[in-house]
Amino acid sequence: MSEEQQNGQQSEDLGQRTYEPPEEFAKNANCQDPEIWNKAAEDYEGFWEGWAKELHWFKEWDQVLDWDPPFAKWFVGGKLNASYNCLDYHIEQGKGDKQALIWVGDEPDHQQTYTYNELLTEVSKFANVLKDHGIGKGDTVSLYLPMIPELPIAMLACARLGAIHSVVFSAFTPDQLTERINDVESTVLVTADQSPRGGSITDLKENSDAALGDAQSIESVIVVRRTGEEVPMQDGRDEYWDELMQNASDQCEAEEMDAEDPFFVLYSSGSTGKPKGIQHNVGGYLVQLKATTMWTLDMKDDDIFWCTADIGWITGHSYLVYGPLLCGGTTLQYEGTPTYPDNTRWPSVIEEHKVTTLYTAPTAIRAFMKQGTGPLEGSDLSSLRLLGSVGEPINPAAWVWYYENFGGERCPVVDTWWQTETGGIMIAPLPGITTLKPGSATKPFPGIFPDLWDEETEEFIEGAGSGALTVNKPWPSMTRTLWQDPERYKEEYFSEISDEIYYVEDGAKRDEDGYYTITGRIDDVLNVAGHRLSTVEIENALVNHEAVAEAAVIGVEDEDKGQAPVAFVILQGDQEYGEDLEKDLIGEVADKAGKISRPDRVYAVEDLPKTNSGKIMRRLLQNIAQGEELGDTSTLADPSIAETIQEQTQQQMS
């Protein structure tokens, strides 16, 4: 297709465009072998073993894979340490003075950098602090911290001791923190006085105190002074990070961990109200991160790598902290928002720090796109050489806008599909080889074997088609179990088709070239601005309010956020619906389930559409909220209710 034709196309055809890897990029790419997929398929254990050899092991493995479906063990018998691999190993190779971490604060003049030597010192000291608080191999530590360097330092300190960290996103509410502490039964909580972000302040210590009333396992709270504001400190329980660090030794040996020892737990939303404690183990997780950071994100020694995700989510764990540090790279951690103090902030950070790789979410790209190129124009973005996208489907228009305006048409865009459960990137281009198609995550990473399942015929789809995404062979960074609940792990992921096939809960399409496009979740999970939210958790927050008898939450299409939550409630007998009540209910959700979970609208209806078996027909509510036709209502216990709900909703919409 000619350039002219391409440019003349309507936006809905952008997905048909193709982009070859830029010549300069392709010549220098870390992976340049077009046969690599075939080679990895011929011997996938051998392929992953090759990557394992890129890490430092105290003792090599005896067996690459022990697959006892659905439980996998990788690099069986191998001994290693994550913090050693991220720090000491590079220092031994003469990189001690290289910048490991660049921290950029919420206020533009607030910055700090750490070399590999400096980071190791901080990590070792904090590991000793934790040791003094009784933490050792196999113990759990909860981290409820803003985007400050102490968060990666605390994670690496846990890793050094073989302790299991559970990072709790700092925008979560006290109730959410309580639930996550109680599930891992940690004895130590690390938090901060306050969290400044986008010019406003969250009182993290206050939140922690509120959470701890119902989280009795915590014996010690270590508080980072982020703003220095005076906060209540409980005698005998609470201590300041800086005071503890003053006397800590900077020598701490890295614990030899078994490849299959637990590394960390990270909670993610599932289709029930109870979050899932996704457990990753040390060896396999690190191997896949090294492979994907090197090949998909094409990490180079002089890269300045900026992953904009919060460390409270898996993307931050894998590609802000562990992936870049495993590769001896320089990772940039940014505390703020894209719009504070104004909307030129991101471009200025790119220019100032000469960022080479930007890895962000489609929501952020769409927010920029909406403002036009203005905010980008004052900054020199020519240091960028690779762009990444993660967390939600990227629409072709946003993809092309990102490619043209951030990337100046010289940077490949890698749209990377993966999940908290997969630990690392699964479907994504190899930017030096793959012909890109806007909106498509393209092909599986070599050694990963996705497929499409036809739910009606109960068969795998051959060739082009669409269906439920599966992964048909184990992979190194797969979640090993849900925290202390192997039964739920099996039931959630390996019961739909068989105990050998990972059922993803995403829908996907595959085209005639074998390219995958992920279309979105097919369970009761919403993806709002790249954040994974459980409809049930929001429903629970609503029914917690005295005015609500029953609630159903669905996701509607949203231009900016991808999806937005919308709620339908049945009010208690004597309650009057009105603007004030709606606001109150939205506030209740913010308090209980966090601000990102806030529904855009709450409609009050007489009844909810239920099937004979009592299941809420969410699709119908979705059609109503989006102003579409009702569609087939025959499976409803009372089909006439559909029209009543539609009428009531329409009245409240105006």
Q: Is 308 in the site for ligand PRX (CB under 6 A)?
A: no
Chain positions 377 to 416 lying near ligand PRX, rule: CB under 6 A, are 390-393, 415-416
Q: Between 208 and 479, whose beta carbon lies closer to ligand PRX?
A: 479
Q: Is 348 in the site for ligand PRX (CB under 6 A)?
A: no
Q: Which residues pair with 268 in a beta bridge?
A: 276
Least gap, CB of 427 to ligand PRX (angstroms): 8
| Contacting residues for 472 by C-beta, under 8 A, at least 6 apart | 449, 450, 451, 500, 501, 502
Whats the size of the chain, residue-wise? 654
Residues 424-443, one symbol each (x = binds ligand PRX by CB under 6 A, - = not), give -----------------x--
Q: Is 597 in the site for ligand PRX (CB under 6 A)?
A: no
Q: Is 317 in the site for ligand PRX (CB under 6 A)?
A: no
In this chain, which of 331, 527, 540, 597 binds ligand PRX, going by CB under 6 A? 527
Q: Is 288 in the site for ligand PRX (CB under 6 A)?
A: no
Least gap, CB of 242 to ligand PRX (angstroms): 33
Q: Is 539 in the site for ligand PRX (CB under 6 A)?
A: no
Q: Is 526 in the site for ligand PRX (CB under 6 A)?
A: no
Inter-residue contact 417 to 516 (CB < 8 Å)? yes
In this chain, which of 81, 140, 207, 268 binds ligand PRX, going by CB under 6 A? 268
Q: Is 532 in the site for ligand PRX (CB under 6 A)?
A: yes
Contact stretch for ligand PRX (CB under 6 A) within 9-17, 397-405, 520-528, 623-631: 520-528
Count other C-beta atoms under 10 Å from residue 471's C-beta.
Answer: 21
In this chain, which of 65, 369, 452, 518 binds ligand PRX, going by CB under 6 A? 518
Distance between CA atoms of residues 263 and 423, nearest Å: 11
Residues 475-514, one symbol each (x = binds ligand PRX by CB under 6 A, - = not), give -------------------------------x--------
DSSP character for 405? I
Inter-residue contact 276 to 482 (CB < 8 Å)? yes
Contacts 24+ apart (CB under 8 A), 505-509: 505/271, 505/468, 506/417, 506/419, 506/468, 506/469, 507/466, 507/467, 507/468, 507/469, 508/450, 508/452, 508/466, 508/467, 508/468, 508/469, 509/464, 509/465, 509/466
Q: Is 419 in the site for ligand PRX (CB under 6 A)?
A: yes
For residue 368 the two structure tokens come to 């920029």
Distance between CA atoms of residues 637 and 275, nearest Å: 30
In this chain, which of 480, 521, 561, 610 binds ligand PRX, going by CB under 6 A? 521
User: Which amino acid, 541?
Assistant: A
Q: Between 76 and 522, whose beta carbon lies closer to ligand PRX?
A: 522
Q: Between 192 and 394, whose beta carbon lies closer to ligand PRX?
A: 394
Q: Between 151 and 189, whose beta carbon lies closer to ligand PRX?
A: 151
Q: Is 576 left (phi over 0), alpha (psi -120 to 50) or beta?
A: beta
Query: φ and ψ at 223, to 5 degrees?
Result: -115, 120
Q: Between 218 and 428, whose beta carbon lies closer to ligand PRX?
A: 428
> Quick one: three-class SS letters along 518-532?
EEEECCCEEEECCEE
The residues binding ligand PRX (CB under 6 A) are 268, 313-315, 390-393, 415-420, 441, 506, 518, 520-521, 527, 532
